[in-house]
Structure 1
Amino acid sequence: MSVTIKDVAKKANVAPSTVSRVLSDSPRISETTKKRVRKIMEEMGYHLNINGRVLVRQSTQTIGIVMKDSATHSFENPFFSEILKGISEACHTRDYNLNLTTGESEETIFQDVVKMVQGKRVDGIIVLYSKKDDKVVPYLMEHDFPFVVVGKPLFGANKFMYVDNDNVEAAREATNYLIEYGHKDLGFIGGDLKFEVAKDRLQGFKLAAEQHGIDIQPESVQSIDLSDSVENGKEVVKKMMNSPRRPTGLVITDDYNGLTVMAALQEIQIKVPDDVSIIGFNNTMIAKLANPPLTTVDTNPYQLGYEASDGLINILHTPEMVKRGVIIPTSIVERDSCKPYSPGIKELDAN
């Protein structure tokens, strides 16, 4: 006999309505109660099945997508839209649907995943990031649930499939591009360093500088998180450009942040590329529409998504297949935001 809400409520010594509110993540229920009830659900094997076809077909024909950040911030960045296009195309071709996490914090995103798995709402999951101290991947491994990671695996690389770029090499090539243009005062503006992609691109930047004997000033390495406001991002740029050795060449590891950087430079009357050359990452529509159009590293986000989705569906159909890593190549798309170095960058008002 299957476990019911009443069974869970009895063991947890709460009302059935409380269990229902825990399932809906109601703010009326304390986090302590939620954790206790969820633990009992897992111990008792309670699953909230989304509909009857799960029992009949033993398949939802649905793939779960775990976003890197909150849904609000993720959809602001066209990089994730491009990845989702690739995922959607592969799913459409093979008659699968999508279910996206909608949480606005790490904990609510994780609970979305728990609901997907325990409620049998999806057949497999694509995790759109790799980061230290993540709860999602260990949870999926512990429950032997099919999944693919878009990003570099931190552990268990031979136990699950992943799709990624060689981000160290891509950032090294982007930095070398500026160096070949004669830029020796270099700056780096990356993303949140809790994510492996941000760490790898910073590593590639530093590697290129070291190989050319270029000393990077501490103030010339900064981060702009997606959750930062535009104004905070602009302050980061202004601080960097007010340093004693302000950069003439910037590596910005996301086209989305590139717009913030270019707007900040415009406010302090520094011209791109006359005063500062910029190279971005991802080759999204933003790069094409920027003024001037942004030279960028094409990470092929559509292909990242397609390979992740197609690979997961293959695993679902053939569970015994060898789990593999897929590296999607990158290339530099030249536009108008970079030019050879020439002395004479404007002096800024320190005030």
Structure 2
Amino acid sequence: MNEEEKKFALALNEIQDVGIVSIKKLLSKFGSFRNIFNADIDAISSVEGVGIERARRIRNFNEWNKIEKLIEECEKKDIRIYTLMDKDYPKNLREIYDPPVVLFCRGEIIQEDKFGIAVVGSRKMTEYGRRVTEKIAAELALMGICIVSGLARGIDSTAHGAALDRDGRTIAVLGSGVCNIYPPENKRLADRIIQRGAIISEFHPYEPPKKENFPRRNRIISGMTIGTVVTEATLNSGALITSSFALEQGREVFAVPGNITSKNSEGTNYLIKKGAKLVSSVEDILEEIMPFIPSLKDTIKEQEAAPAVILKEDEKAVFDILEEPLNLDEILIKTGLNISNLVDIILKLEIKGLIIKREGRYVRRN
């Protein structure tokens, strides 16, 4: 898209009370942002839901200096501007009912990101939530699947970090501007994400985090992806809002079951009762998304044929005794390791794809 067309898109996005659905209808009639501004008031107002007052606001828009400054600031800060009419605008997001007219982006969105999976959950995660999130996000990233989340504390940050630690791609969708990272302690994580993916927002680059922004950004998290995984969440968690958007958008919803006495698992257990696919391993996700990703079968075959993984001494000790299925207590007794070390070793072996948990017992993968 040429710079002039981008300018008209930003201007239309600024006009009060001209919503996304109305803008989509205007684009459908006039074909471009520029043509909307060049049309007469009668033609604009004739579009369903627009009316004479909104048409006047479009025709009388005069804050072009503000738009020029915004474009200059984005260029200075190396912020990409994707508009709804750009060929590089995220394909899945364009298909939802109310896609953002403009996306501000630090980093880069690539074609393969359309096969992304959202991994979301509670800000106040438990150790269980951390472990399952790391495992799922890491294994998906190793399959070449982009992990999309919201950069929030807890599950979101863990999902981004797990993808990056496996040299995978990840995208963070913000409820603030891309130059106003929230929470502030995630600035370093945001910098890492920019190098291996993107941070994006529909809000102005320096927009502060506002309570009302976060439900809006959740529709983007689900809209960017082919499915949403909720790993741990309370009943009032924003992650359940994201899963609701995913259902409305016709995307897959997955949930990790948890302890029935834990508030942090009430949300995921509720989703499973309502029909979300139960996830006990990454294979549960892969079998559902395989039809959407033609290259996934080849990736799985390559990983199965990959050279043997070199194990550290303590990892090898655990791996060697798992010729037969053992539960955690049995592994503790046989290895003599302490529980915290053993939990970390098991997680690493699971992430490396060497062991799997079946019916409460760990065993080597076939």
Fold-level similarity (TM above 0.5): no
For CA contacts below 8 A with separation 6 or more, give which structure has more relative contact order.
Answer: 1
Alignment TM-score, normalising by the size of structure 2: 0.30
TM-score, normalisation: structure 1: 0.31
